[in-house]
Amino acid sequence: MFNNWILIGLLSLSTYISRIVGVEVMAERKMSPTLRVYFNYVPVAIISALIIKQIFVPVDGQLIISIPVLVGCVVTAIAIKTMKLFLPSVLLGAIIGLMTRYFMM
């Protein structure tokens, strides 16, 4: 089974390489709308995959939903939509997720 840090490193490396290759290949050329969409959504897709991997935890051959992580993600999403500030929203979600883990579980 993959270690999370190995997965994060490989996904980061693939994102970085795709961006560098894109910049080198497309230097002084107009980027097609399809390629622009690809470059815009790759980081979002990687982050989504990492979040989903943390929400659904394998336990005894079954996938279990991690309630503290799910609560933290929902709080973060709501905070980002309302406050429009990324870092404070992530911190708020992490704090609420930790409080859920330690005080309600």
User: What pLDDT does residue 26 have?
Assistant: 67
* H/E stretch holding 59: strand 56-59
The 10s digit of each residue's pLDDT in 38-70 is 878 888 888 888 889 999 988 898 999 999 999
Q: What integer pLDDT is reported at residue 99 of this predicted model?
A: 95
Residues 75 and 25 placed together within one structural domain of the fold: no
Render 35-46 in DSSP notation, one character per residue: HHHHHHHHHHHH
The per-residue pLDDT for range 2-45, each reduced to its tens digit, is 577 888 888 888 888 887 877 777 676 677 788 778 878 888 88
Judge if 33 and 59 occupy the same domain: yes
Residues 24 and 70 in one domain: no
Asked if residue 92 and residue 105 are part of one domain, the reply reads yes
> Do residues 70 and 22 both lie within one domain?
no
Contact 36, 64 (CB under 8 A): no
Look at residue 81 and tell me whether its pLDDT is greater than 60: yes
Contact partners, residue 18, CB within 8 Å, separation at least 6: 39, 42
Q: Which domain range does residue 102 map to?
A: 66-105
Residues 42 and 79 in one domain: no
Which residues share a beta bridge with 5? Answer: none
